Amino acid sequence: MDISYIKALHIIFVICWFAALFYMVRLFIYSTDAQNKDEVARPILTQQLLFMQKKLWYIIGWPAMIGTYIFGWWLVFSNMTYYFSQPWMWLKLIVVGLLTLYHLECQRILNSQKQGVFKYSSFRLRLFNELATVFLVAIVFLVVVKSTSGLLWGILGLIAFAAILMLCVAIYKRNSAKDAASKTPENKIEDPKP
């Protein structure tokens, strides 16, 4: 089979894998937030969100990860001498290993939420969600640039990017708290009676 087909399939599975990871953690956040709803809405929302998690994870998430590994290793073994001699490839493999640990942590969170255990706050899950973005940026830059000469700058840039993402999440949390506080009954100004 022409190697370009293998590369195309690898890229397709990588995109699907990241899509599943990004959306899965959003579903974890929504499920956690649903626990703060009233007695009528909570079970309905939780049941629907858990159903969506199950479908996404087992129809897209796991198959995409497995496809990524199959076609990725097929590419590596098609030209082992080249790939294993490249420092950027070793770094990419390390990041993919970390991404796989991230995937397994998502599985653990899914299992917990299925059991009715919502261990992490929405804020912590939002931070966790940004970690996948950091992995995506690292992998894309390593594969496209294929350079270790600027590795120090790349790592510093990645750390700065992660810090900016964390800052944005913290600002979002603070603004959400302000909005919630401004909507509480004691903060509403009543109209004077005529």
Quick check: 185 pLDDT over 80?
Answer: no
pLDDT tens column, 77-110: 999 999 999 888 998 999 999 999 999 999 999 9
* pLDDT score for 29: 97
Q: Cα–Cα distances in Å, from 39 out to 43, 44, 127, 149, 166?
A: 7, 9, 28, 58, 33
* pLDDT score for 7: 95
Percentage helix, strand, coil for the chain under 3-state DSSP, each rounded to 5? 85, 0, 15
What does the block give as tokens for 99?
């991404």
The label of the residue with tokens 């390390």 reads: 94
pLDDT tens column, 101-155: 999 999 999 999 999 999 999 989 998 998 998 889 888 888 888 866 555 666 6
Q: Taking the domains of the chain in order of start, what are their residue ranges?
A: 3-182
